[in-house]
């Protein structure tokens, strides 16, 4: 495997184009999200592996035995030039990879999960009409993060750093909204990534404040901002059995775009590696 430098990313874009519905794959190639891209041939890549903040991706020819062997050694057995990936969340194209994954991940077990991709192009929810008394919605900016009397959950800053590399990069290229109550951020919705006129967002609410409609309110504020600031599509991903996430998405105005399969494996050390 060879690692590409950003100036070489265009050569691999056709391999990842079918995975663009998982927008982070495109955002890495655009330079908007941190990541790494490894290929079999830098000049004419036939098979490629990408690490991104949201997932890992295998694309191209699944029957490339030399690449598959190198990938197994580097990622699974963690040999040079090793990838220290402890939990592998993987999305693949084409479907032929599915028949290769068990052997590629040997001796680790592989789990499959069914997921949904939603897209919103028009806001359905009047979030202001549903905002409870004593709660306010604010856009995330530097003054909010530096406010002495406001409790900012570690997850908010961690999200920015993981998906954007630096908080300042998020503030320049992304956006997010929070719902605040009694000096505490209780719900937040941030951009996972941006590529062209599309973006993806996520949502989280502190456990004690759930089932009050706050996730819908906060996500709707983020979508409203996106659609009024040049974005034509806002993406959302969730497992097919996450009824809370599905309900929130549909209340905001997201429509189910597709179902897809993802894979994950916990790459714990084996006895032979210990």
Give me the helices (H) in 51-174, please: 65-71, 101-105, 142-146, 154-164, 167-173
Q: pLDDT at position 245, please?
A: 96
Over residues 124-176, the pLDDT tens digits come to 999 999 999 999 999 999 999 999 889 899 999 999 999 999 999 999 999 99
Q: What is the pTM of this model?
A: 0.92
Please name the helix (run of DSSP H) or strand (run of DSSP E) that holds residue 233, with its range, or none.
strand 233-239
- In 54-131, DSSP assigns E strands to 56-60, 87-93, 111-120
The candidate with the shortest Cα–Cα distance to 95, out of 272, 260, 208, 270, is 260
Q: pLDDT at position 84, please?
A: 61
Q: By the 8 A CB rule, do 255 and 119 touch?
A: yes
Q: pLDDT at position 86, please?
A: 78
- CATH number for the domain formed by residue range(s) 2-106: 3.40.630
Residue spans of the domains in the chain: they are: 2-106, 119-259
In CATH terms, are 2-106 and 119-259 the same topology?
Answer: yes
69-83, 106-120, 131-145: segment of lowest average pLDDT: 69-83
- CATH number for the domain formed by residue range(s) 119-259: 3.40.630.30
Q: pLDDT at position 270, please?
A: 47
């Amino acid at each position: 495997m060879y690692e590409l430098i950003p100036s070489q990313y265009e050569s691999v874009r056709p391999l990842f184009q079918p995975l663009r519905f998982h927008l982070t794959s495109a955002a890495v190639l655009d330079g908007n999200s941190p990541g790494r891209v490894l290929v079999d041939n830098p000049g004419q890549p036939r098979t490629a592996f990408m690490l991104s903040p949201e997932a890992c991706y295998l694309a191209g020819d699944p029957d490339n035995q030399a690449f598959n062997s190198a990938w197994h050694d580097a990622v699974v057995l963690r040999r040079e030039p090793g990838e220290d990936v402890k939990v592998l969340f993987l999305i693949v194209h084409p479907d032929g990879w599915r028949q290769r994954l068990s052997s590629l991940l040997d001796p680790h077990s592989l789990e499959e999960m069914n997921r949904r991709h939603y897209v919103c192009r028009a806001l359905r929810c009047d979030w202001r009409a549903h905002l409870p008394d004593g709660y306010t919605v604010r856009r995330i900016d530097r003054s909010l993060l530096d406010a002495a009397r406001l409790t900012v959950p570690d997850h908010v800053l961690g999200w920015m750093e993981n998906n954007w590399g630096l908080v300042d990069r998020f503030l320049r290229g992304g956006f997010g909204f929070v719902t605040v109550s009694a000096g505490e951020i209780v719900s937040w919705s941030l951009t996972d990534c941006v590529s062209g006129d599309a973006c993806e967002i996520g949502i989280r609410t502190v456990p004690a404040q759930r089932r009050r409609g706050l996730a819908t309110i906060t996500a709707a504020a983020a979508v409203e901002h996106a659609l009024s600031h040049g974005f034509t599509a806002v993406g959302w991903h969730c497992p097919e059995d996450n009824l809370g996430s599905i309900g929130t998405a549909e209340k905001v105005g997201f429509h189910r775009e597709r179902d897809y399969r993802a894979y994950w494996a916990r790459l714990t050390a084996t006895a032979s590696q210990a």
